[in-house]
Structure 1
Amino acid sequence: MASNRRDWGRIRQLKSGRWQARYPGPDGALRPAPETFETRKLASSWLAEKRTEIIRDDWVNPDSGKVPFMAYATTWVAERKLSDTTRERYEGIVRNHYAPTFGELTVAGIKEATVRRWRSELLARKVGEPTVAKAYRLLRAIYNTAVDEDRIVKRNPCRIKRAGEDNSAERPVLTIRQVYAVADAIQPRYRMLILLATFTSPRFGELAALRRRDVDLERREIRVLRSQAELRGGSTIKGPKSEAGKRRVAVPKAIVSELREHIGRYAEPGADGLVFVGPQGGRLRRHNFRRVWVKARKAARIPDDVHFHDLRHSGNELAAEGGATTRELMARMGHSTTRAALIYQRARRERDHTIADAMSGNIEQARRRPQGKRSRKSARRRGEGHAGGTTGSTAA
C-alpha cells in the first residue's frame, strides 16, 4: 500500500489499487474524500479543488448535514413568520408527505434521486398534483436555507424542472342558469351565499366573515376586509394576505333586493352582525357547509367535480367576458399580482376567437355564392345605374 505525503493533503494507494485522498479541514480534522479514485492524478486534482474551495470559504463541513431531516424541517417551519393557516398547512405537509419517505434520513442523505423517487411515489398514490407541487416547493425552500444560510449541505437536491408548478386541470365554469339552479336548490338561508360568491367573487372565508356594516345597499357595494380561517383547533379571523385583499366590490342590481331581504331575515342583528350564519346561529364552517353544498349541487344536476370555490371562478369569467381589464379583475379578486387575472383575460381572448370564428363562417358562406350569378347581378345594377344617369342627363 503506497503512500505519498504532499505539501497539502495526503494521497495513498489502497490494497484494491484505488487511490484515497485526505485533506485537513478548516476545523483541523484530517478528512477523507467521499470516494476513492482510479488514478493518483485524479486524487491529486480533487485535492486541488478542495483546497481552492477552502480558500474561497466555500467549504461545507460534511458532518453538518448529518442532522435528521425531520428535525430540521420542523424547526424551519417553526422559525418562519407565517400566518396560522400557512403554518398549519406546512406542518401537515411535513407530517403527511415528508415523514413516510424522509423520516429516517439526514439532511445530507437526501439526494436528487431520493427526491425524484419521493415525488413519483406521491403521484402514484394519486395525491393531487397541486398538493405535490406545494410539497415540492416547500422542500426546495427548506433546502435553499440549508444551502445558502445554514451552509450544512452544498447542493439543493430539488432539481426537477417545473416540479413546483401547479399544473392542475382548468376548473369548470358554471353558466348563470346553472348558478341559479343551485341557488334555487339550496336552503334559503344560503341562497345569497351562492349569488354573492358568484357575482362579487369573494372566497368562502371572506363571506363567512362578512358583517352587516360591510354591506352598503345604497351604493350597491360590499367591503371585503377580513377572512375566516379554519384551523385544526377551531377558526380565527384574519386580515388579507396583502393590502390588495381589502377591497370594495360592486353588487349587480339584479340581486340587491334579494340581498336586502336576506339581511333582514337571516343576518345577525347590529352593525357587527354576521351576514351569514348557520341554522343554529353559529359561524359558517366549511366542513359543515360542504354537505349542504353537495346536496344542492346534486339536486341542481351540476357535475360532481364542481366545488363551491368554482363559483368565484365562474364570476371572474363573467367579469372578463363583460369587458373587465386586467387591473379591474385584480381589484375585484383582491390580488396584488396579474397572474390570476391574466387567466380570465385569456378566457376573454378565447371568447374573442369564438366571435372571430363566427365572422369567418359568414365570410366563407358569402364567398361560396356562385360567382357567375353575383357578376350578372352586379353588371345589371351597374347598367341600370348608367342608363338612369344618361336618361337624366338627356331630360335635363
Structure 2
Amino acid sequence: MASISPGRPSDDGSPRYVVNYRDPEGRQRRKTFRRKAEAVAFRNTVEADKLRGTYLDVDAGRISFRAYAEEWLDSRTFSPLTYEATELRLRLHVFPTLGHLELRQIKPSTIQKLLRSMEMAETYRRVIFSNVSAIFSAAVDDDMIAKNPCKASSVTRPATSRRKVVPWPTEWVSAMHDALPPQY
C-alpha cells in the first residue's frame, strides 16, 4: 500500500508531500507533490491501477521511438525482403521526424504532422502508417505507453483507393494463351 509522508519544505517554506509506493515489479518508487490533495489523488490512482492491472511505469516510455522501432524490427519474423523494405521505410520517412522523440512524447498531433509531411503516393503512405501503428501497438502491449496515438479519432489515416477491376478483352486473353509455352 502506498503511503504519504511530509517531505522537506520547498525553498519558499511551503510544505511538500511524498508518496512512497511499490510498482508491480516490487521496485520502491516515490513522487513529491506541493499539495496534499494531489498526493492523495496520485496514491489512489497508483493503487487502483495496480489492482486493475493497468499500471504503467512512468520511466517505460522514455525510450526513443528509433530505439524501440529497431528493437521491434529485430524481433519480427519477416522474410529478409520484407525486413529490408520496412527498415528502409522507417529510416527514410519516419526516423527523421519521430526518431529522436521518446515514445511518451508522441501524440496524435505528432502523427498527423508526420502524415502531412509525407508527399508520396497514398498507398505508400498507408504502408508507412501501418508500420508506425504496428510499432505503437507493440509498445502498448509491452506496457511502454497507454495508448496507440495512430488509433486516435483525430488522426486522419491515409485514404484507401478503390480501383475498378477492368477485365482484359478476349483478344488479349487469347494472345496470352497462345504465347505461353506448351507445358503451361
Into which bin does the TM-score normalised by the smaller protein fall?
A: 0.7 to 0.9
Q: Secondary structure at the match of 1:158?
A: helix
Aligned counterpart, 1:31: 30
Aligned counterpart, 1:236: none
Cα distance change on mapping 1:93 and 1:23 into 2, 3 Å: farther
Aligned counterpart, 2:168: 199
| 1:30 Cα deviation after fit | 2.6
| 1:142 Cα deviation after fit | 1.3
In the alignment, the residues of structure 1 paired with residue 104 and residue 5 of structure 2 have an alpha-carbon distance, to the nearest angstrom, of 25
Aligned counterpart, 2:150: 158
Q: Secondary structure at the match of 2:19?
A: strand
Cα distance change on mapping 1:259 and 1:120 into 2, 3 Å: closer
In the alignment, the residues of structure 2 paired with residue 95 and residue 107 of structure 1 have an alpha-carbon distance, to the nearest angstrom, of 17
In the alignment, the residues of structure 2 paired with residue 137 and residue 91 of structure 1 have an alpha-carbon distance, to the nearest angstrom, of 13
Letter in 2 for 1:46: F
Aligned counterpart, 2:116: 120
In the alignment, the residues of structure 2 paired with residue 11 and residue 163 of structure 1 have an alpha-carbon distance, to the nearest angstrom, of 47
Aligned counterpart, 1:137: 130
Cα distance change on mapping 1:164 and 1:89 into 2, 3 Å: farther
In the alignment, the residues of structure 2 paired with residue 259 and residue 134 of structure 1 have an alpha-carbon distance, to the nearest angstrom, of 32
Aligned-CA RMSD value:
3.5
Greater length-normalized contact order (CA 8 Å, ≥ 6 residues apart): 2
Q: Contact 1:111–1:157 (CA<8 Å) still a contact in 2? A: yes
1:50 equivalenced with 2:46 (yes/no): yes
Letter in 2 for 1:22: V
Q: Contact 1:11–1:44 (CA<8 Å) still a contact in 2? A: no
1:74 equivalenced with 2:46 (yes/no): no
Q: Secondary structure at the match of 2:123?
A: helix
Q: Among 22, 41, 47, which residue is 2:19 paired with?
A: 22
Q: Secondary structure at the match of 2:44?
A: helix
Alpha-carbon displacement from aligned partner over 1:149-173 (angstroms, at most 9, x marks no partner): x2122232224436335344x5588
Q: Any residues of structure 2 matched to 1:80-229 within 5 Å, and which? A: 80-122=76-118, 126-148=119-141, 150-161=142-153, 163-168=156-161, 171=163, 198-199=167-168
Q: Secondary structure at the match of 1:9?
A: strand
Q: In structure 1, list runs of 5 or more residues that go unmatched.
A: 1-5, 175-197, 201-251, 273-396
In the alignment, the residues of structure 1 paired with residue 15 and residue 85 of structure 2 have an alpha-carbon distance, to the nearest angstrom, of 49
Q: Secondary structure at the match of 1:164?
A: coil
Q: Contact 2:6–2:15 (CA<8 Å) still a contact in 1? A: no
Identity %: 22
Alpha-carbon displacement from aligned partner over 1:28-49 (angstroms, at most 9, x marks no partner): 333326xx56x43233112211
1:8 equivalenced with 2:3 (yes/no): yes
Letter in 1 for 2:112: R
| 1:65 Cα deviation after fit | 2.3
Letter in 2 for 1:95: R
| 1:103 Cα deviation after fit | 2.0
Q: Any residues of structure 2 matched to 1:293-312 within 5 Å, and which? A: none
Q: Contact 1:119–1:132 (CA<8 Å) still a contact in 2? A: yes
User: Is the radius of gyration larger for structure 1 or structure 2?
Assistant: 1
Cα distance change on mapping 1:21 and 1:93 into 2, 3 Å: farther
Number of residue pairs the alignment of both structures matches: 179
Q: Secondary structure at the match of 1:87?
A: helix
| 1:73 Cα deviation after fit | 1.0
| 1:96 Cα deviation after fit | 1.4
Letter in 1 for 2:77: K
TM-score, L = length of structure 1: 0.38
Aligned counterpart, 1:363: none
Cα distance change on mapping 1:130 and 1:160 into 2, 3 Å: farther
Aligned counterpart, 2:179: 262
Q: Contact 1:65–1:106 (CA<8 Å) still a contact in 2? A: yes
Q: Any residues of structure 2 matched to 1:357-376 within 5 Å, and which? A: none
Letter in 1 for 2:136: Y
In the alignment, the residues of structure 1 paired with residue 40 and residue 109 of structure 2 have an alpha-carbon distance, to the nearest angstrom, of 29
| 1:138 Cα deviation after fit | 1.9
